[in-house]
């Protein structure tokens, strides 16, 4: 990070005291840290503390121009290589989502062109509130990156998710960003995500619990690192990663057709979607009416997309699959890796707490065709995606 200018926004929560450690660690790593505090933040930690640690003036008031040669909030925005808001309250997240600029920090952020990282910190119920979650999704859809809060005992006495990530985690996320920036430029990724739906009639369908979060995390991570993404996605409520080419599908057959149409131009294929293995043999044009007795539905196999990719892929293409299992996880993953001609497979035990469908975290074992086995502890799906992409990068470089 030597020579990088990092603009740190500190907002008014009890976790503001951790900003001192963040500033200290960033400065020790060679970064120039410019700090903007909200008025509320100054109630928790003094500007003098952050000024001493950063060796720079701390900005609070938009109208307190410290250098007559520049307009401060524009100058700070222009010079920033990266913006970090830590801690970020529900209030500032809401303002940024809706373009409100009523203080030095929010006014500056509107003028920023560099990457933005936000580390939220608040009460668990505030963090889970639909308005806060919607604001987070709005910002994510614009390319803002979030450093997820930790779960634990909060200052208010509640236990849950909302505690600011530790300063070491935050600094590591920033450092990793600078290290891996643009290392997939010129590479095209074909990523599948989400669940498929197999119709029974106009009302009913079979599906599964996949939220699409792992596939979308891979798409976001690749885009952050300069790669191009074709995202073939089943139905999901997730925002489309900015600059991803989205191909929306519903059934396994539609996903098969979309993947095969994109396969030839892909350098890396990541098959993270949970595709139905079976579909109803008969699909009713009208709603099936309730009758006395049982309703038996005969099922037929869908096309095996992974098997087809493995048969068609060229020598210069890298194929990653998933094995979501509830028993004999490693052995089943090894068989799937070999049978479907994958280069790498990501195996996870779906019954483990913190792993599997719908959650924001995962716990996996990565297996390669060369016989390597790498275990990854519980971490956010976004960070896991980056960790696995680091391994992909090594293999693409030979």
Angle, CA of 164, 166 and 167, to the nearest 5°: 110
Task: Compute the Cα dihedral for 168, 171, 175, 180 and give only its sign.
Answer: positive
User: Are 109 and 80 contacting, i.e. CB atoms less than 8 angstroms apart?
Assistant: no
The answer to whether the peptide bond before residue 87 is cis (omega within 30 degrees of 0) is yes
Cβ neighbours of residue 83 under 8 Å, at least 6 residues apart?
Answer: 6, 7, 9, 109, 112, 114, 115, 116, 117
396 is catalytic: no
Name the strand (E) or helix (H) holding 54: helix 47-54
Active-site entry in 156, 350, 352, 378: 156
Q: Characterize 98-136 residue by residue with b for buried, 16 or more Cβ atoms within 10 angstroms of its Cβ, and e for exposed.
A: eeebebbbbbbbeebeebbbbbbbbbbebbeeeebeebb
Cβ neighbours of residue 308 under 8 Å, at least 6 residues apart?
Answer: 256, 260
Distance CA 177, CA 397 (A): 20
Name the strand (E) or helix (H) holding 192: strand 188-193
The length of the chain is 398
What are the residue numbers of the active site? Answer: 156
């Amino acid at each position: 990070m030597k020579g990088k200018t990092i603009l740190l926004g500190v907002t008014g929560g009890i976790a503001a005291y951790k900003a001192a450690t963040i500033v200290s660690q960033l400065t020790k790593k060679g970064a120039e840290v410019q700090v903007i505090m909200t008025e509320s933040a100054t109630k928790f930690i003094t500007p003098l503390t952050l000024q001493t640690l950063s060796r720079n003036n701390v900005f609070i008031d938009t109208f307190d121009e410290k250098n007559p040669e520049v307009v401060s909030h524009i100058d700070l925005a222009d010079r920033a290589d990266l913006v970090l808001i830590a801690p970020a309250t529900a209030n500032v997240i809401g303002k940024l989502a809706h373009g409100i600029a009523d203080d030095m920090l929010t006014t500056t952020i509107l003028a920023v062109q560099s990457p933005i990282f936000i580390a939220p910190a608040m009460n668990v119920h505030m963090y889970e509130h639909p308005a806060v979650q919607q604001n987070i999704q709005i910002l994510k859809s614009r390319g803002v990156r979030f450093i997820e809060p930790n779960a634990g005992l909060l200052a208010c006495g509640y236990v849950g998710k909302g505690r600011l990530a530790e300063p070491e985690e935050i600094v590591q996320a920033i450092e990793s960003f600078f290290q891996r920036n643009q290392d997939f430029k010129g590479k095209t990724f074909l990523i599948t995500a989400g669940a498929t739906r197999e119709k029974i009639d106009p009302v009913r369908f079979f599906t599964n619990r996949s939220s699409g979060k792992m596939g979308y995390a891979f798409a976001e991570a690749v885009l952050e690192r300069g790669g191009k993404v074709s995202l073939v996605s089943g139905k999901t409520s997730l925002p489309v990663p900015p600059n991803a080419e989205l191909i929306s599908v519903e059934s396994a057959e539609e996903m098969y057709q979309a993947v095969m149409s994109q396969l030839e131009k892909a350098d890396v294929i990541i098959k993270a979607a949970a595709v139905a293995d079976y579909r109803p043999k008969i699909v009713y044009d009208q709603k099936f009416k309730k009758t006395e007795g049982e309703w038996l539905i005969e099922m037929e196999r869908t096309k095996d997309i992974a098997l087809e990719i493995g048969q068609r892929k060229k020598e210069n293409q890298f194929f990653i699959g998933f094995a979501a299992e509830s028993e004999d996880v490693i052995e089943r993953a090894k068989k799937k890796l070999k049978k479907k001609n994958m280069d790498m497979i990501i195996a996870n035990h779906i019954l483990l707490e913190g792993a599997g469908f719908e959650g924001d975290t995962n716990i996996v074992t990565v297996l390669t065709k060369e016989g390597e086995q790498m275990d990854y502890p519980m971490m956010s799906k976004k960070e896991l995606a980056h960790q696995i992409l680091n391994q992909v990068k090594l293999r693409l470089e030979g």
